[in-house]
Structure 1
């Protein structure tokens, strides 16, 4: 779980959010299959994950997403759509890592590729 407090509160918004995105990308690379498999399967384990981790993370993410919209970094849109667009952008390459390896010869699971993907997400969301 990525705790919002993992990024120092004294950082400016852009730096704090970039750090949280980077941490989320790293987490997603390390836990890609388990989180997606539980989401697809559903059931008690998913319900537990949502109650214990997802709701708290989404609450923090919604606040950051609202700030992205307020600052004009992303267009005005429903927050759930933006949150899940971020979730998909961050997590999906790691779930599809084998496909990407076969189709593009690119290994998303290598350290440099993980960092490059984190930088990509940050650049797309923060116009850096």
Structure 2
């Protein structure tokens, strides 16, 4: 997705330089936004981790992607497991803190198993079962 964003950005610059500024600007803006949002996912900032104490990971959404802030939630604090309209899953504490992850995270299956082990009382979204 990052490469598609970069390609759209390049196409937009090319169209702008060749005399089609409206299409060029549109392609460049969409390409920049796509590349920006997806490049953040290539960093370790969006990694999900867990240990005996709880789960740690991204805690905010920024547009269609994950934001930069992180949170930790102890296993016993998790009150809800849900999904967003943009296909991110989350665990939520009673005070509203959330930790997000997606199927693109390579360890999501392992985390889901751990979540079921630590909190068998929680109802998981159908796509996580």
Same fold (TM over 0.5): no
Q: Radius of gyration: which is bigger?
A: 2
What TM-score does the superposition give when structure 2 sets the normalisation length? Answer: 0.26
Q: Which has the higher contact order (CA 8 A, sep 6+)?
A: 1
Query: Comparing both structures, which one devotes a greater share of its residues to strand?
Result: 2
Given the two structures, how large is their TM-score scaled by the length of structure 1?
0.26
